[in-house]
Structure 1
């Protein structure tokens, strides 16, 4: 189940992330392991996350390639250490949709947001190259903590795509 899509103006959001390439099949496992690593790195550095974890999608060629960053928002992003990197989600207008339910429903929720944007005459800021989709800012934020809410039907994930000006 997904809420009604909307457009939202957002400010720049600094973050620390770990870039990784994976397949759609391996994505949940890769996200979980890299998030644990990132959380441990922030604890060791004495840095507090300022919000929910998210994944930033950079390049997609379904189903075999997902070039992503597993991220945590921070107040200011230090450069990192090579593996963990500081960056920022750009400010701008975003098409946003909140999906409620298991992560298996995120493919359809993303498709719904993309259809809605097309119907509204909106374009995403992309850099496609052949059969690979390149994204300036395509984000899935995990609003629910599975440790605190074990019922996957209650999990909430926010999907946000940067729009062309």
Structure 2
């Protein structure tokens, strides 16, 4: 695990698809990234960053509200279930995970432990439905068409802090 960093980020427009899923149906949202990329490329638009999954609500025992998204340089109109959105500006804790996505849980656990030692507070509230995040995301920095071996992938975690 690399050392976590605190970054101040500007707001970032994107196009995304949101779905309520479980851990066993997670692919139903994650697999939509290619569709969003295809829509943008079909419009002649450039992608302005790594595709991501944004976690709006997390209840690992029940349901998660997750959004698959692709950053764009300028706000774009949606189409069908693909909607425009904006990642909020603010301070984020970021960390690069190198390796298979199955190892993310260990990296996330380490990130949470580090943040606790730093006295940091997440942009997150809890309810009976789970954790509600202002912005918690995983950006997929490795193009699977270039590097198909998931053990060589880089995934950036970015969790917004409460300010």
TM-score where L is the length of structure 1? 0.91
Find the counterpart in structure 2 of residue 47 from structure 1.
Answer: 45
Please report how far the alpha carbon of residue 131 of structure 1 lies from its aligned counterpart in structure 2 after TM superposition: 4.8
2:18 touches 2:29 (CA, 8 Å); kept in 1?
no
Find the counterpart in structure 2 of residue 87 from structure 1.
Answer: 85
Find the counterpart in structure 2 of residue 35 from structure 1.
Answer: 33
Distance 1:154 1:3 in 2: 15
Aligned to 2:134, which of 133, 136, 155? 136
Distance 2:155 2:67 in 1: 16
Find the counterpart in structure 2 of residue 104 from structure 1.
Answer: 102
2:17 touches 2:29 (CA, 8 Å); kept in 1?
no
2:29 touches 2:66 (CA, 8 Å); kept in 1?
no
Deviates more, 1:121-130 or 1:37-46: 37-46
What SS does the aligned partner of 1:70 have? strand
2:124 is the counterpart of 1:126: yes
> Which stretches in structure 1 are left out of the alignment for 5+ residues?
none
2:124 touches 2:132 (CA, 8 Å); kept in 1?
yes
Find the counterpart in structure 2 of residue 161 from structure 1.
Answer: 159
Find the counterpart in structure 1 of residue 11 from structure 2.
Answer: 12
How many residues were matched structurally? Answer: 163
TM-score where L is the length of structure 2? 0.93
Deviant stretches of 4+, over 4 Å: none
> Which stretches in structure 2 are left out of the alignment for 5+ residues?
none
2:57 touches 2:129 (CA, 8 Å); kept in 1?
no
What SS does the aligned partner of 2:113 have? helix
